[in-house]
Amino acid sequence: MNGIALTRREFLSSGGALVVSFVLCPRAAAQAGETATRSAEAKLPGSLDKFPMLDSWIRIGADGSVTVFTGKGELGQGIRTALQQIAAEQLAVPFASIAMITADTQRTPNEGYTSGSNSMKDSGTAILNAAAQVRELLVAEASRRLGVAADQLVARDGAVHAPGGKRVGYGELVAGQALHVRAEVQSRFKDAGTRTVMGKPVQRVDIPAKVTGGVAYVQDLRLPGMVHARIVRPPQFGAKLKSLDPGIAEGMPGVMKIVRDGSFVAVVAEKEFQAIRAMRALSDRAVWDVGALPPADVYAQLLQLGSEDKVIHERNGASLGAMTHEATFRRPYQLHGSIGPSCGVALYREGKLEVWTHGQGVFPLRAAIAEMLKMAPDTVHCIHMEGAGCYGHNGADDAAADAALLARALPGTPVRVQWMREEEHSWEPFGPAMVTKVRAALDRSGRISAWEYDVWSNTHSTRPGKAGNLAAGSLVAVPFAPAPAAPIPQPEGGGDRNAIPLYAFASARVTSRFIPTMPLRVSALRGLGAYMNVFSIESFMDELAAAAKADPVEFRLRHLEDGRARDVVAKAAQRFGWTSYRRERDRGRGFAFARYKNLGAYCAIAMEVEVVRETGEIRVGRIACAVDSGDVVNPDGIRNQIEGGVVQSLSWTMYEAVTWDARRITSRDWGRYPIVRFPAVPASLDVDIIDRPMQPFLGTGEAAQGPASAALANAVADAVGVRVRDIPLNPARVKALLGA
């Protein structure tokens, strides 16, 4: 049967349309992932548009076992559980009966990166529709076999039930054949009112192993005969190796091999601590040619580097007129700062390479590794495993590429590369430094009549896909060129993500000023430019509200037309008790709102802080959030993401900035790059969810980053009357402003 697709077609329709076609075909053919033949047909929902065959997403075994495939990976955001809930609900099978297969270049659809809060929109929508359509096909087949009209049949618990107690199991219905059917544009979903799994706070499937010491992360992967490697890292990106003294490490216990390729140097040892010791010995003696790092005032440098400017929004631009208010905001380079430094495991044998990675895009990573090692992409197999939370493009892909390079130098031996903390802190691509400038005018009625906004930023994605975007690819003897830096276009945007306010202003102009030259290595950090743009816009909204002598919440509502936006604003204000708030000395409240990317989740946050005048320290009190992510699949998952986003954004905003001297990054560990610790987390944090059943999934992961930062700055201004426009709002800065 190999290589031949045997077809058994069943025309079950009335009116001659093809309703169901089971195609028996070898797995490999289905796995090749037939891409859509793009005719004039309407777009299929979510990632089905790229992978329209139902068996790319769902397979049912002869024994009734259900396997669901997604090209997205679990990053600690709970996506595996949410997708499993969707599939269970629409297929009408028990939640626990589903096996989920996540991002894997040989098994799953290529859904690009797990990023941008897009997993629910892309994969969730695809699985929602695929599962509903598979269920309908199964019911149709059961109807044919039982001779009972489809509308008399009920799909439940993995079987189709007929009146009078007759039932046929799904396994029997498909008899082990693949559901090799092209998806339809429209699906018949189960009625929202009858849901039993979607919309419920189902417990995450990954947590039990994580709290009991199971193999939960790529860091825990232990292959037979696996050896340990460490990289001898140059002091900075772009440094060149002048001399190395391999002799110093060659005789050390356990050392198996020192690998050098240009400025890429690594040591492989039998045991992990042996590799660390040898790496340290080699590092101590290595001599590097280094270039200059940027000056301390990187903002001035950024503005001088030259930008490609584009007006991304204009409304009555000619009538902007004279501006009465103006402010400039700055955001430093910031870290992803994963708690578990990056790790990769690779095995090269018989001309084939397997790579286990916590990177966000296994397919683009495969392309980059294949290019770097000059291998055919189909001889490289990348498998996603969880790492510690990444929050964007961190060192994960780099560590995978390091492991791949070393595995090729040791055929037949699995190699595990674990980055050190200092390595992660100084080599991961940072969240870019940014500058924004906003000007506005108020009319007599206290409305914003004109708004002008400029944002300067590097790119927010240097993700691989190209070997030159991998750390190793830039270090090898014949280095690879990175992909040219490019802005991510609107409507999602990169540096200009959320630069266009959702508010209705009589006239407005928004200009994105993209800086191609990168003083430091940067890439995607949770929320991209939205974090900074929302910080700027929402801080300035409060400044304008004060100028208009208006309440900040009422002032926002004055300019908000979108009903769902108004709902989250009202909800957060109500939960906080905004109108009944009583201010005490040195305490204040702040509010902020954004719709992520202007097309994702709506999120509003109200927050109380206290400022300690003597030290400039900010103490965060109560926080109330309201979020609308569309159709809710797992309310607790949404809550968890918003809570985490708020606390992380507060940490960014209160403490975080990458620092450097002439030679190297100096914020190389948690001592020199402090983040929030327990005593400083909020007193309380409530999240209200506004559910929109049957509406599109909007995603949640990045919705809170922007609003949390501005709510904090607004609360500080309310508490002690100082407006902090530079991130971070650390005690030294707040104190200096208080003293001024």
Query: Between residue 240 and residue 299, which ones bind another protein under the rule CB under 8 A?
Result: 253, 271-274, 276
The nearer residue to another protein, 259 or 685, going by C-beta atoms, is: 685
Q: Identify the bridge partners of residue 62 per DSSP, sorted by sequence position.
A: none
Closest separation in Å from C-beta 276 to another protein:
8
The nearer residue to ligand FES, 390 or 689, going by C-beta atoms, is: 390
The binder of 121, among ligand FES, another protein, none, by C-beta within 5 to 8 A per type, is none
Which residue's C-beta sits nearest to ligand FES? 339
Q: Is residue 392 at the binding interface for ligand FES, with CB under 6 A as the rule?
A: no
Beta strands in 275-359 (DSSP E): 287-289, 308-315, 325-331, 343-349, 352-357
Q: Is residue 337 at the binding interface for another protein, with CB under 8 A as the rule?
A: yes
The nearer residue to ligand FES, 16 or 678, going by C-beta atoms, is: 678
Closest separation in Å from C-beta 482 to another protein:
27
Is residue 63 classed exposed, middle or buried when 0-12, 13-18 and 19+ CB atoms within 10 A define those classes? exposed
User: Are the CB atoms for 199 and 128 separated by under 8 Å?
Assistant: no
Which positions ≥6 away from 110 have C-beta within 8 Å?
A: 33, 50, 51, 71, 363
Q: Which amino acid is at 391?
A: Y
H and E: helices and strands count for the chain: 19, 26
Which positions ≥6 away from 629 have C-beta within 8 Å?
A: 120, 600, 601, 638, 689, 697, 698, 699, 700, 703
Closest separation in Å from C-beta 340 to ligand FES:
8
Q: Is residue 486 at the binding interface for ligand FES, with CB under 6 A as the rule?
A: no
Closest separation in Å from C-beta 637 to ligand FES:
14
The nearer residue to ligand FES, 634 or 714, going by C-beta atoms, is: 634
Q: Among 357, 418, 426, 533, which residue sits at the site for another protein (rule: CB under 8 A)?
A: 418
Q: How far apart are CA 343 and CA 418, in angstroms?
A: 4
Query: Between residue 94 and residue 123, which ones bind ligand FES under the rule CB under 6 A?
Result: none
Which DSSP letter does residue 54 get? Answer: G
Judge if the upstream peptide bond of residue 482 is cis by omega within 30 degrees of 0.
Answer: no
Computed on alpha carbons and rounded to an integer, the radius of gyration of the chain in Å comes to 27
Q: How far apart are CA 702 and CA 681, in angstroms?
A: 19
The binder of 648, among another protein, ligand FES, none, by C-beta within 5 to 8 A per type, is another protein
CA 81-83-86 angle, 5° bins:
110
Three-class SS of residue 435? strand
DSSP for 346-371, written as a single string: EEEETTEEEEEE--S-HHHHHHHHHH
Q: Is residue 469 at the binding interface for another protein, with CB under 8 A as the rule?
A: no
Binding mask 176-205 for another protein (x = CB under 8 A): -------------------------x-xx-
Query: Between residue 61 and residue 90, which ones bind another protein under the rule CB under 8 A?
Result: 75-78
Closest separation in Å from C-beta 358 to ligand FES:
12
Q: How far apart are CA 471 and CA 456, in angstroms?
A: 26
Main-chain phi, psi angles of 168, to 5 degrees: -130, 130
Closest separation in Å from C-beta 226 to another protein:
9
The nearer residue to ligand FES, 212 or 243, going by C-beta atoms, is: 212
Task: Report how far apart, in Å, the C-alpha atoms of 459 and of each of 328, 395, 456, 603, 617 are.
Answer: 20, 17, 10, 25, 33
Q: How far apart are CA 108 and CA 67, in angstroms?
A: 11
Closest listed residue to residue 27, CA positions, set 3, 10, 49, 11: 3
Closest separation in Å from C-beta 640 to ligand FES:
9
Retrieve residue 584's tokens.
């005490």
Q: Among 205, 209, 305, 327, which residue sits at the site for another protein (rule: CB under 8 A)?
A: 209
The binder of 707, among another protein, ligand FES, none, by C-beta within 5 to 8 A per type, is none
Closest separation in Å from C-beta 678 to ligand FES:
12
The binder of 645, among ligand FES, another protein, none, by C-beta within 5 to 8 A per type, is another protein
The binder of 620, among ligand FES, another protein, none, by C-beta within 5 to 8 A per type, is none
Closest separation in Å from C-beta 418 to another protein:
7
Retrieve residue 202's tokens.
């189902």
User: Are the CB atoms for 238 and 229 separated by under 8 Å?
Assistant: no
The binder of 432, among another protein, ligand FES, none, by C-beta within 5 to 8 A per type, is none
The nearer residue to another protein, 463 or 526, going by C-beta atoms, is: 526
Q: Among 431, 468, 527, 644, which residue sits at the site for another protein (rule: CB under 8 A)?
A: 644
Long-range contacts of 271-274 (CB under 8 A, 24+ apart): 271/228, 272/228, 272/418, 274/228
Closest listed residue to residue 33, CA positions, set 10, 66, 67, 57: 57
The binder of 436, among another protein, ligand FES, none, by C-beta within 5 to 8 A per type, is none
The nearer residue to ligand FES, 90 or 338, going by C-beta atoms, is: 338
Closest separation in Å from C-beta 216 to ligand FES:
12
Q: Is residue 76 at the binding interface for ligand FES, with CB under 6 A as the rule?
A: yes
Query: Between residue 94 and residue 153, which ones bind another protein under the rule CB under 8 A?
Result: none
DSSP-derived pairing of the beta strands 325-331 and 684-689: unpaired
The nearer residue to ligand FES, 62 or 339, going by C-beta atoms, is: 339
Q: Among 45, 112, 341, 431, which residue sits at the site for another protein (rule: CB under 8 A)?
A: 341
Q: Is residue 341 at the binding interface for ligand FES, with CB under 6 A as the rule?
A: no
Q: Is residue 207 at the binding interface for ligand FES, with CB under 6 A as the rule?
A: no
Strands across the sheet containing 602-612? 587-595, 602-612, 617-628, 684-689
The nearer residue to another protein, 28 or 683, going by C-beta atoms, is: 683
Q: Among 71, 337, 387, 389, which residue sits at the site for ligand FES (rule: CB under 6 A)?
A: 389
User: Are the CB atoms for 131 and 91 separated by under 8 Å?
Assistant: yes
The nearer residue to ligand FES, 246 or 389, going by C-beta atoms, is: 389
> How many chain residues bind another protein (CB under 8 A)?
64
The nearer residue to ligand FES, 153 or 420, going by C-beta atoms, is: 420
Which positions ≥6 away from 580 have C-beta within 8 Å?
A: none
Task: Report how far apart, in Å, the C-alpha atoms of 470 and of each of 228, 366, 380, 399, 477 are.
Answer: 20, 12, 16, 9, 14
User: Are the CB atoms for 570 and 593 separated by under 8 Å?
Assistant: no
Q: Is residue 339 at the binding interface for ligand FES, with CB under 6 A as the rule?
A: yes
Q: Identify the bridge partners of residue 270 per DSSP, sorted by sequence position.
A: none
Q: Is residue 386 at the binding interface for another protein, with CB under 8 A as the rule?
A: yes
Closest separation in Å from C-beta 74 to another protein:
9
The nearer residue to another protein, 420 or 518, going by C-beta atoms, is: 420
DSSP-derived pairing of the beta strands 684-689 and 617-628: parallel
Binding mask 45-64 for another protein (x = CB under 8 A): --------------------
Q: Is residue 671 at the binding interface for another protein, with CB under 8 A as the rule?
A: yes
Kindly list the residues in this chain that would bind ligand FES in the complex (CB under 6 A).
76, 339, 388-389
Kindly list the residues in this chain that would bind another protein in the complex (CB under 8 A).
75-78, 201, 203-204, 206-217, 219-220, 222, 228, 253, 271-274, 276, 337-341, 386-389, 391, 418, 420-421, 636, 640-641, 643-648, 651, 669-671, 675-679, 681-682, 684-685
